[in-house]
Amino acid sequence: MIRVSGDYLQNANMLTLDPIEKVIFNRLLEDPLTYAYRNLYELEFEIQLRSQIIHSAKLMNDSQATFEVFAQSRRNPDYWIRTMMGGFLLRADVNPSDAIKDIYINSDQYGFECATAMLIIYYHAVLNTIGKELFNRIFKYLYLYSWHSDSDLKLQTIDTDFLIPGDIVYFKNPDVNPQTPWWQGENAVVLEDGSYFGHGMGITSAEQIIHFLNENRKDNSTRSAYLHKTVTRPNFRYLANVSSNRNLDKPQLEVIHHGEPSISSSKYLYYLNMFYLKN
């Protein structure tokens, strides 16, 4: 359900939407959960950003960027400093927008695991939604590592099995083969036709992702991989209203260098919460 300025919307007559955006709108409308917006702009912004997330996922699928664990991660040194833990730290002498675009332009120079891929997709989609000037002001200190994110993305993990295009989901492999720990799961973007993009697997169906993960279980396993009933989303309403006058000295979240490829956002959030509880 969709509520704008206190009133429930029944259709998209007030909006000008392309075919993918119409699918997104209809899924928001069909969800039993109410999506509340203070104005029509906030709704339009979420639909547009979700569409851009889908677009960025498809572009990554078409790129030459490879799946790599942290120890073998690769980047273009003209834009990123590779840390000892396999993360990519933005160089101080380049624009954040140029560095994110370079991952798509010179994709053959890049290799990263699937959680990092999701953050790259998010940043690329936000850049294409808000423009480079605002993006460069807000996301000045980028560091790409697993699910670590800039504090202005305000990532949220929500318990639901009602999927909306542009959501990120997690396929969990509880009995992963210890020889291939990077297949403990797969982060994937929900596309408008019900398929999924997962870095390292490409665009495929839920059944095919589960089948692939099941092929990478330990011997004598009886538990199947499955789609976890949580989704990850940025705070769309917050991003719609973020100001170009944001304090550039904003607090950032701690980086948790866990060393595990292909973890879910929920697991990363658990590690992050444990860090703050201990400190």
Q: So what's the pLDDT on residue 233? A: 97
Distance of CA 255 to the CA centre of its chain: 17
Q: Residue for token digits 């973007």?
A: 189
Q: So what's the pLDDT on residue 245? A: 53
Q: So what's the pLDDT on residue 247? A: 55
Q: So what's the pLDDT on residue 100? A: 98
For the chain, which residues make up each domain, given as ranges?
2-278
- Scanning the chain, the segments in alpha helix (DSSP H) are 19-30, 40-62, 96-105, 114-130, 132-138, 206-214, 236-241, 265-278
Q: So what's the pLDDT on residue 5? A: 85
Residue among 63, 88, 65 at smallest CA distance from 77: 88
pTM, two decimal places: 0.95
Which H or E element spans position 204? Answer: strand 202-204
Residue 277 Ramachandran class (φ > 0 left, ψ -120 to 50 alpha, else beta): alpha
pLDDT in tens, the chain (279 residues): 999 988 888 888 888 999 999 999 999 999 999 999 999 999 999 999 999 999 999 999 999 999 999 999 999 999 999 999 999 999 999 999 999 999 999 999 999 999 999 999 999 999 999 999 999 999 999 999 999 999 999 999 999 999 999 999 999 999 999 999 999 999 999 999 999 999 999 999 999 999 999 999 999 999 999 999 999 999 999 999 886 555 556 788 899 999 999 999 999 999 999 988 887
Q: Are 3 and 34 in contact (CB under 8 A)?
A: yes
Instruction: Provide the β-strand partners of residue 231.
Output: 158
Q: Are 201 and 186 in contact (CB under 8 A)?
A: yes
| Burial (Cβ within 10 Å: 0-12, 13-18, ≥19) of residue 246 | middle
Q: So what's the pLDDT on residue 249? A: 67
Tokens standing for residue 229 = 């009933």
Which H or E element spans position 50? Answer: helix 40-62
